[in-house]
Amino acid sequence: MLSPLALPVRLSVFLVACALIVPNGVSQLLQPDNPAAALTVNPFNADAGIAAIARALAASELAPGSLEALRGTAERTLAAAPGDARAMSALGAVLEREGDRDGGYALFEQARAISATEIHAILRLLDRSLAAGEHAEVLDLIDVALRRWPSYWPQLAEVLTYMAGTPDGRSELADRLGQRPPWRSSALRHLLRTEAGLPMVSALVGAELAAGAPADAGDVNAVIAALVGRGAVASAYQLFMASLSPEERSVAGYVFDPGFTQPAGRYHFGWSFRQGTGAEMRLGIDAPGSGGLLVRFLDSPARLGGVAQLLRLPTGRYSLAMEADASQLQAPRGLYWRLACVGGRQGELVRLAAETGSYAARASEVTFEVPATDCALQRLSLETGVETDSWRDRYSGSFSVRSVSVTRL
């Protein structure tokens, strides 16, 4: 049985709890959209205090006396949460804005001593190290930030762009990327889009390949594609050749892997493979992976072009040759290998047509010439002449390419 005093005491405790819980709940509701109002409701809401300071400091102009008020808010927030690295960074940011840079940076360093991944302290210390030319420290801070806060990549990527444009920064950055941090691929692809980054990344990947370091096919292809996009076709092709294994070099030539023995889509200068319409295609005539290219037409209009390869043919005269089988092949608009210049005004160089009917191991070839201008890069593709889906142009039967090659004459 409760004593006469028990009920009033319990009621008092309940009312005190409500007095604490209700303002805190209201403060948390206000915090995302209006942290200043949330702080007014609950001055001990550290998250609201930090957010209110950050929002105020982000403004282009501050009203007279507002920095003093912000410092008071920051000091109260830090007093309410003395172990919160974010609160320490917030006070450091206010001191820095007031002109006390040494005091601000001292607090940023303390914040990182509490939490090595405190992002606002990292960003401010990064700016200081960058201004001082301490590139190794900059990269240490970027590494910590990107491992914990990958959403800050756009902001940090611009720092990498700046570093790639300075001799000392470029050297430090290349060394760090050579250590293969988890953000390496993102950094490579970003730098490849910049003026200073492309030669740096190209040299880095080329040196790694020359030293026998493991090559990531995606990274290598990204560099090759960037070089091709800048018109450095010869450099791109040299990098491609350097990336090949001994087994792959054995099938390299003017046409890489003429017998379709390697997986498609791995190399920028290798076979790309994409299904067309009106046909079923696979790599491997007898079975997947057995070599050769098998095309089965579905008695309908057929559009191909998805089996293709980029070539690097110097100026000169060549022969395009093919060995193929066919079974009841009907191709009303033609079936042919088309070789054309990429870019420029030269256009198509030659076509090598497949014969219809049924036959085995039939060889055919045609000669052509690569001009001296506007044809640094060529594309070889298997195509049909179908332009509209007219059912008068129905393709049927099967066609097997055992090899397709280019030989210089």
Spatial distance between the Cα atoms of 277 and 282, rounded to a whole number of angstroms: 13
Burial class (CB in 10 A: 0-12, 13-18, 19+), 391: exposed
Contact 209, 176 (CB under 8 A): no
Tell me, what's the pLDDT at 314? 94
Q: How much is the pLDDT for 4?
A: 52
**pLDDT averaged per 10 residues, the chain (length 409):** 49 42 44 48 55 66 68 77 83 86 92 93 95 95 96 95 94 95 96 95 94 86 93 93 91 95 87 92 87 95 93 96 97 96 87 97 97 93 88 93 97
E strand or H helix that includes residue 329: strand 316-330
pTM exceeds 0.85, yes or no: no
Alpha-carbon span 179 to 187, nearest angstrom? 13
392: burial class by Cβ within 10 Å (0-12, 13-18, 19+)? Answer: exposed
Euclidean distance between CA atoms 277 and 306, whole angstroms: 10
pLDDT of res. 113: 94
Tokens 């099967």 appear where? 398
**How far from the centroid of its chain's Cα atoms is residue 322's Cα?**
37
Query: Which segments of 31-63 does DSSP mark as H helices, in order?
Result: 35-41, 46-58
> What is residue 68's predicted lDDT score, i.e. its pLDDT?
77
pLDDT for 11: 42
Cα–Cα distance for residue pair 51/87, rounded to 1 Å: 10
Q: What is the pLDDT of residue 60?
A: 55
Q: Quick check: 305 and 381 in contact, CB under 8 A?
A: yes
Q: Which two tokens stand for residue 84?
A: 């919160």
Distance (Å) of CA 409 to CA 156, 313, 339, 341, 369: 52, 12, 17, 19, 10
Judge contact between 68 and 102, C-beta under 8 A.
no
Check residue 215 and give its pLDDT. Answer: 77
According to the model, what pLDDT value does residue 32 have? 46
